[in-house]
Copies of this chain bind each other. A is one copy, B any other.
Amino acid sequence: MKFTDLLAKAWQKNNSLLCVGLDPDPAKFPAHLQGQPDAIFRFCAEIADATADFACAFKPQIAYFAAHRAEDQLEALIARIHERHPDIPVILDAKRGDIGSTAEQYAIEAFERYRADAVTVNPYMGRDSVEPWLAYADKGVILLCRTSNAGGSDFQFQKTGSGGTPLYEVVARKVAEEWNATGQCALVVGATFPAELARVRALTGDMPLLVPGIGAQGGDIEATVKAGKTATGTGLMINSSRAILYASKGEDYAAAARQAAQDTRDAINRWR
Protein backbone atom coordinates (compact mmCIF):
# COMPACT_ATOMS: atom_id res chain seq x y z
CA MET A 1 0.00 0.00 0.00
CA LYS A 2 1.14 3.58 -0.65
CA PHE A 3 2.72 5.25 2.36
CA THR A 4 0.25 8.13 2.31
CA ASP A 5 -2.73 5.74 2.24
CA LEU A 6 -1.25 3.65 5.05
CA LEU A 7 -0.71 6.80 7.09
CA ALA A 8 -4.25 8.04 6.48
CA LYS A 9 -5.62 4.70 7.65
CA ALA A 10 -3.42 4.71 10.77
CA TRP A 11 -4.55 8.25 11.64
CA GLN A 12 -8.13 6.96 11.57
CA LYS A 13 -7.75 3.48 13.05
CA ASN A 14 -5.85 4.66 16.15
CA ASN A 15 -7.39 8.13 16.22
CA SER A 16 -3.82 9.30 16.55
CA LEU A 17 -1.32 11.79 15.14
CA LEU A 18 1.47 10.39 17.31
CA CYS A 19 4.65 9.09 15.69
CA VAL A 20 6.70 6.95 18.08
CA GLY A 21 10.41 7.62 17.53
CA LEU A 22 12.66 4.63 18.12
CA ASP A 23 16.04 6.09 19.18
CA PRO A 24 17.43 3.23 21.26
CA ASP A 25 20.25 4.22 23.63
CA PRO A 26 21.53 1.07 25.39
CA ALA A 27 22.88 3.14 28.29
CA LYS A 28 19.27 3.97 29.16
CA PHE A 29 17.90 0.43 28.89
CA PRO A 30 16.52 -1.33 31.99
CA ALA A 31 18.97 -3.55 33.86
CA HIS A 32 17.60 -6.87 32.62
CA LEU A 33 18.43 -5.95 29.01
CA GLN A 34 21.94 -4.62 29.69
CA GLY A 35 24.57 -6.67 27.92
CA GLN A 36 22.09 -8.81 25.95
CA PRO A 37 23.31 -9.24 22.37
CA ASP A 38 19.91 -8.40 20.89
CA ALA A 39 18.98 -5.79 23.50
CA ILE A 40 18.34 -3.05 20.93
CA PHE A 41 15.91 -5.23 18.98
CA ARG A 42 14.15 -6.47 22.10
CA PHE A 43 13.81 -3.02 23.62
CA CYS A 44 12.38 -1.48 20.44
CA ALA A 45 10.13 -4.44 19.67
CA GLU A 46 8.59 -4.26 23.17
CA ILE A 47 8.08 -0.51 22.77
CA ALA A 48 6.44 -1.01 19.37
CA ASP A 49 4.08 -3.69 20.67
CA ALA A 50 3.18 -1.59 23.71
CA THR A 51 2.46 1.61 21.76
CA ALA A 52 0.99 0.26 18.51
CA ASP A 53 -2.57 1.05 19.59
CA PHE A 54 -1.76 4.73 19.94
CA ALA A 55 0.62 5.45 17.07
CA CYS A 56 0.14 6.58 13.47
CA ALA A 57 3.75 5.71 12.59
CA PHE A 58 6.99 4.31 13.97
CA LYS A 59 10.22 6.12 13.24
CA PRO A 60 13.47 4.25 13.93
CA GLN A 61 16.53 6.56 13.80
CA ILE A 62 19.25 4.65 11.97
CA ALA A 63 22.21 6.34 13.71
CA TYR A 64 21.29 4.67 17.00
CA PHE A 65 21.60 1.29 15.33
CA ALA A 66 24.67 2.05 13.21
CA ALA A 67 26.67 3.33 16.20
CA HIS A 68 26.29 -0.14 17.72
CA ARG A 69 26.82 -2.29 14.61
CA ALA A 70 23.14 -3.22 14.94
CA GLU A 71 21.95 -3.03 11.33
CA ASP A 72 20.74 -6.62 11.61
CA GLN A 73 18.61 -5.67 14.62
CA LEU A 74 17.13 -2.76 12.66
CA GLU A 75 16.22 -5.10 9.81
CA ALA A 76 14.63 -7.55 12.26
CA LEU A 77 12.75 -4.76 14.03
CA ILE A 78 11.17 -3.35 10.88
CA ALA A 79 10.26 -6.84 9.64
CA ARG A 80 8.60 -7.56 12.97
CA ILE A 81 6.64 -4.30 12.96
CA HIS A 82 5.39 -5.07 9.43
CA GLU A 83 4.34 -8.55 10.58
CA ARG A 84 2.64 -7.66 13.87
CA HIS A 85 1.46 -4.14 13.14
CA PRO A 86 0.86 -4.04 9.38
CA ASP A 87 -1.43 -1.02 9.72
CA ILE A 88 1.31 1.23 11.09
CA PRO A 89 3.83 2.66 8.58
CA VAL A 90 7.55 2.65 9.37
CA ILE A 91 9.57 5.78 8.62
CA LEU A 92 13.32 5.25 8.46
CA ASP A 93 14.86 8.44 9.85
CA ALA A 94 18.12 8.61 7.92
CA LYS A 95 18.25 12.15 6.46
CA ARG A 96 20.33 10.96 3.55
CA GLY A 97 21.15 13.19 0.59
CA ASP A 98 23.59 12.62 -2.29
CA ILE A 99 23.99 12.73 -6.08
CA GLY A 100 21.68 10.51 -8.11
CA SER A 101 23.87 7.44 -8.52
CA THR A 102 24.60 7.38 -4.79
CA ALA A 103 21.02 8.22 -3.84
CA GLU A 104 20.00 5.09 -5.77
CA GLN A 105 22.15 3.05 -3.38
CA TYR A 106 20.66 4.78 -0.35
CA ALA A 107 17.17 4.08 -1.69
CA ILE A 108 18.06 0.40 -2.00
CA GLU A 109 19.26 0.52 1.60
CA ALA A 110 16.09 2.14 2.94
CA PHE A 111 13.38 0.57 0.81
CA GLU A 112 14.73 -2.85 -0.25
CA ARG A 113 17.04 -3.79 2.60
CA TYR A 114 15.15 -2.26 5.52
CA ARG A 115 11.71 -2.27 3.83
CA ALA A 116 10.79 1.11 5.27
CA ASP A 117 7.53 2.68 4.06
CA ALA A 118 9.06 6.17 4.05
CA VAL A 119 12.40 7.83 4.64
CA THR A 120 13.62 11.26 5.72
CA VAL A 121 15.81 13.01 3.11
CA ASN A 122 17.94 16.17 3.23
CA PRO A 123 17.02 18.54 0.35
CA TYR A 124 20.28 20.55 0.22
CA MET A 125 21.52 18.81 -2.95
CA GLY A 126 18.32 19.46 -4.88
CA ARG A 127 15.97 17.69 -7.21
CA ASP A 128 18.17 15.07 -8.87
CA SER A 129 19.27 13.90 -5.41
CA VAL A 130 15.62 13.25 -4.53
CA GLU A 131 14.40 11.56 -7.72
CA PRO A 132 15.88 8.11 -6.98
CA TRP A 133 13.74 7.98 -3.83
CA LEU A 134 10.62 9.04 -5.73
CA ALA A 135 11.22 6.23 -8.22
CA TYR A 136 9.74 3.88 -5.60
CA ALA A 137 6.11 4.73 -6.30
CA ASP A 138 4.60 3.36 -3.06
CA LYS A 139 7.14 4.95 -0.74
CA GLY A 140 7.04 8.24 1.13
CA VAL A 141 9.83 10.83 0.88
CA ILE A 142 9.92 13.20 3.83
CA LEU A 143 12.14 16.21 3.18
CA LEU A 144 13.78 18.35 5.85
CA CYS A 145 12.27 21.82 5.76
CA ARG A 146 12.45 23.66 9.12
CA THR A 147 14.20 21.53 11.71
CA SER A 148 13.55 21.67 15.45
CA ASN A 149 17.11 22.38 16.62
CA ALA A 150 18.59 25.80 17.43
CA GLY A 151 21.09 25.63 14.55
CA GLY A 152 18.21 25.12 12.13
CA SER A 153 18.08 28.91 11.82
CA ASP A 154 21.66 29.20 10.50
CA PHE A 155 20.65 28.47 6.90
CA GLN A 156 16.95 27.57 6.88
CA PHE A 157 16.09 31.07 8.00
CA GLN A 158 18.28 32.87 5.47
CA LYS A 159 16.19 35.45 3.63
CA THR A 160 16.18 34.81 -0.12
CA GLY A 161 15.17 36.67 -3.28
CA SER A 162 13.71 40.15 -3.54
CA GLY A 163 10.89 39.31 -1.12
CA GLY A 164 13.13 38.03 1.66
CA THR A 165 11.49 34.60 1.67
CA PRO A 166 13.21 32.38 4.23
CA LEU A 167 14.94 29.36 2.75
CA TYR A 168 12.66 26.84 4.50
CA GLU A 169 9.71 28.39 2.62
CA VAL A 170 11.60 28.04 -0.65
CA VAL A 171 12.07 24.36 0.20
CA ALA A 172 8.39 23.94 1.13
CA ARG A 173 7.22 25.56 -2.11
CA LYS A 174 9.66 23.61 -4.25
CA VAL A 175 8.49 20.33 -2.75
CA ALA A 176 4.78 21.19 -2.84
CA GLU A 177 4.75 22.73 -6.33
CA GLU A 178 7.41 20.73 -8.20
CA TRP A 179 8.59 17.55 -6.51
CA ASN A 180 5.25 16.23 -5.29
CA ALA A 181 3.59 15.43 -8.60
CA THR A 182 3.09 11.81 -7.48
CA GLY A 183 1.86 12.72 -4.00
CA GLN A 184 4.72 10.90 -2.27
CA CYS A 185 6.26 13.87 -0.46
CA ALA A 186 6.02 15.10 3.11
CA LEU A 187 8.06 17.64 5.09
CA VAL A 188 9.85 17.81 8.43
CA VAL A 189 8.90 20.94 10.39
CA GLY A 190 9.91 21.28 14.04
CA ALA A 191 7.39 21.78 16.83
CA THR A 192 9.71 24.40 18.29
CA PHE A 193 8.61 26.91 15.64
CA PRO A 194 4.76 26.98 15.53
CA ALA A 195 4.54 30.15 13.44
CA GLU A 196 6.71 28.57 10.79
CA LEU A 197 4.74 25.34 11.00
CA ALA A 198 1.59 27.35 10.27
CA ARG A 199 3.31 28.99 7.31
CA VAL A 200 4.36 25.62 5.89
CA ARG A 201 0.82 24.29 6.35
CA ALA A 202 -0.52 27.28 4.41
CA LEU A 203 1.96 26.65 1.59
CA THR A 204 1.47 22.90 1.26
CA GLY A 205 -2.27 22.17 1.42
CA ASP A 206 -2.86 18.78 2.99
CA MET A 207 0.70 17.50 2.71
CA PRO A 208 1.69 15.32 5.70
CA LEU A 209 4.13 17.04 8.06
CA LEU A 210 6.48 15.14 10.35
CA VAL A 211 6.91 17.24 13.47
CA PRO A 212 9.73 16.46 15.89
CA GLY A 213 10.49 18.56 18.92
CA ILE A 214 7.73 18.02 21.47
CA GLY A 215 8.78 16.59 24.84
CA ALA A 216 12.54 16.63 25.46
CA GLN A 217 13.07 19.36 22.86
CA GLY A 218 10.48 21.69 24.40
CA GLY A 219 7.85 22.13 21.69
CA ASP A 220 4.31 22.91 22.83
CA ILE A 221 1.56 20.43 21.86
CA GLU A 222 -1.33 22.90 21.70
CA ALA A 223 0.59 25.34 19.52
CA THR A 224 1.85 22.52 17.30
CA VAL A 225 -1.56 21.00 16.63
CA LYS A 226 -3.28 24.34 16.04
CA ALA A 227 -0.54 25.49 13.69
CA GLY A 228 -0.09 22.29 11.76
CA LYS A 229 -3.38 20.40 11.45
CA THR A 230 -5.37 20.27 8.23
CA ALA A 231 -9.04 21.23 7.93
CA THR A 232 -9.97 17.62 8.76
CA GLY A 233 -7.78 17.58 11.87
CA THR A 234 -5.07 15.32 10.47
CA GLY A 235 -1.98 15.98 8.32
CA LEU A 236 0.52 15.56 11.18
CA MET A 237 2.93 12.94 12.45
CA ILE A 238 3.93 14.45 15.79
CA ASN A 239 7.02 12.62 16.94
CA SER A 240 7.93 11.74 20.50
CA SER A 241 10.97 9.59 21.20
CA ARG A 242 12.70 9.94 24.57
CA ALA A 243 9.57 10.81 26.61
CA ILE A 244 8.01 7.50 25.53
CA LEU A 245 11.05 5.20 25.33
CA TYR A 246 12.40 6.16 28.73
CA ALA A 247 9.15 6.86 30.58
CA SER A 248 10.42 4.30 33.09
CA LYS A 249 13.94 2.98 33.56
CA GLY A 250 12.72 -0.20 35.23
CA GLU A 251 11.40 -3.53 33.94
CA ASP A 252 8.00 -1.86 33.51
CA TYR A 253 9.39 0.28 30.71
CA ALA A 254 6.99 -1.07 28.07
CA ALA A 255 3.90 -0.47 30.21
CA ALA A 256 5.17 3.00 31.05
CA ALA A 257 5.80 3.67 27.36
CA ARG A 258 2.26 2.54 26.55
CA GLN A 259 0.83 4.94 29.11
CA ALA A 260 3.06 7.79 27.88
CA ALA A 261 2.00 7.11 24.28
CA GLN A 262 -1.68 7.08 25.20
CA ASP A 263 -1.30 10.28 27.23
CA THR A 264 0.56 12.01 24.40
CA ARG A 265 -1.96 10.90 21.80
CA ASP A 266 -4.78 12.19 23.98
CA ALA A 267 -2.98 15.45 24.71
CA ILE A 268 -2.61 15.94 20.94
CA ASN A 269 -6.26 15.05 20.28
CA ARG A 270 -7.45 17.69 22.72
CA TRP A 271 -6.49 20.35 20.14
CA ARG A 272 -7.51 18.70 16.87
Contact = CB atoms under 8 A, between A and B. Distances in A.
B144 A125 contact: yes
A170 B170 CA distance: 16
Nearest to A112: B67
A100 B155 contact: no
Interface in A128-183: 128-130, 144, 147-156, 158-161, 167, 170-171, 174
Interface in A11-51: 23
A154 B126 contact: yes
Given A69-B113, A161-B158, A150 B122 contact: no
Interface string A67-81: 101010000000000
A98 B98 contact: no
A34 to B, nearest CB: 18
Interface residues of A, number: 53
A129 B149 contact: yes
A123 B152 CA distance: 9
A66 B94 CA distance: 12
A193 interface: no
Nearest to A190: B99
Interface stretch (A101-109, A225-233, A243-251): A101-109
Nearest to A101: B23
Contact of A71 (B64, B69, B105, B174): B69
